[in-house]
Amino acid sequence: MHSRNKHLPGYDFPLLIKHVPELENHLIAKPNGESTLNFADKSAVLLLNKALLSAHYGIKYWDLPEQFLCPPVPGRADYIHALADLLAHDNAGQIPTGKSIKCLDIGTGANLIYPILGQSIYRWRFVGSEINDVAVKIAQNISKANKLDVKVKLQKNTEQIFSGIIGETDYFDITMCNPPFHASAEEAQKGTQRKWRNLGIDHTAGKNSLNFGGHAPELWCEGGELGFVKNMVLQSAHFKEQVGWFTCLLSKKDNVSPLTKLLKQQKVSQFKTVKMQQGNKQSRFLAWRYSC
């Protein structure tokens, strides 16, 4: 994990249980006697997230309907910290903090996780976009209940990423996105079954056994991750004067090469791939801009 990630030492379960007492009912013992969580249980993961957000980020209200994605907080925090490092390169090595930094979270989801973390850690202002009107309402409720400086907008045109969200006078220091990474519902289901196997779950038990959750727009889109980010790169050219850095997570390493080739064709002034790692899991995000 990133060196500034609060979750680097691991989970402090006694602290977390003080914030969400129900979490204690989901603890299990490791062979060495230490406590851990049943990560195959979605309700346990939801309670863990509630506890983490309360204990470390001051979020007192956070809840999700079952069909929406329940994100792992430590990994999401790594993306925020890496973005802070990216912005620091243009600020004499100092991480810019406060409301003067404005961020756009594309596909913010009902969980609103990136605006929560970015605002709590660095006090950045956020706008979140989302194509699901139910998710928008849930995210708005979370923002209002916790008095966050986050505006959540409904993207009415599912073919557009920035248009309809970035206004004529808007400027964002950075945009971020965790794109859907499957190309079809069938592919998403296969990915779900792989997660079940990795967690030791019988994949015939039904979709409700999946601890991570997620509904169709969060998990897949036509063209998959590569198609989505290609569209993002092409559409970003129309907003090059209104965004400092465009960024997007890439779950698939093989997508880096074709996307960097596209960025060269777009004649961006700078692009880079920033690598991240949480335990054995490696991830990365692509960043590009049109002016330095």
- The label of the residue with tokens 């592919």 reads 187
pLDDT band of residue 184 (cuts 50, 70, 90) is very low
Residue 20 confidence (pLDDT): 97
Contact (CB, 8 A) for 235 and 160: yes
Residue 224 confidence (pLDDT): 83
Q: Mapped to the 3 state alphabet, what secondary structure does 68-131 carry?
A: CCCCCHHHHHHHHHHHHHHHHCCCCCCCCCCCCCEEEEECCCCCCHHHHHHHHHHCCEEEEEEC
pLDDT in tens, 92-130: 999 999 999 999 999 999 999 999 999 999 999 999 999
Dihedral-angle region of residue 147 (phi above 0 means left; psi in -120 to 50 means alpha; beta otherwise): left
- The label of the residue with tokens 């509904």 reads 215
- Residue 61 predicted with pLDDT over 50: yes
Amino acid at position 5, single letter = N
Report the distance separating Cα 261 and Cα 239, nearest Å.
20
pLDDT band of residue 69 (cuts 50, 70, 90) is confident
3-class secondary-structure state, position 9:
coil
3-class secondary-structure state, position 201:
coil
Report the distance separating Cα 130 and Cα 143, nearest Å.
14
Question: What's this model's pTM, rounded to 2 decimal places?
Answer: 0.87
Query: Taking residues 30-42, what's their average pLDDT?
Result: 88
What is the C-alpha radius of gyration for the chain, rounded to an integer number of angstroms? Answer: 19
Instruction: Write out the two tokens for 78.
Output: 């790594």
Residue 203 confidence (pLDDT): 46
Q: Helical H runs in 199-237?
A: 216-219, 224-236
Report the distance separating Cα 281 and Cα 247, nearest Å.
20
Report the distance separating Cα 222 and Cα 237, nearest Å.
22
Residue 223 confidence (pLDDT): 67
Domain boundaries, the chain: 64-289
Report the distance separating Cα 197 and Cα 167, nearest Å.
45
- The label of the residue with tokens 């980020």 reads 57
Instruction: Write out the two tokens for 180.
Output: 């859907």
Angle 264-269-274 from CA coordinates, rounded to 5°: 75
φ, ψ (nearest 5 deg) of residue 101: -95, 120
Q: Which residue has the higher pLDDT, 279 or 150?
A: 150
Q: What is the CATH code of the structural domain delimited by 64-289?
A: 3.40.50.150
DSSP string spanning 248-276?
Answer: EEES-GGGHHHHHHHHHHTT-SEEEEEEE
| Lowest mean per-residue pLDDT among 63-67, 132-136, 160-164, 269-273 | 63-67
| Residue 191: exposure state from Cβ atoms within 10 A (0-12, 13-18, ≥19) | middle
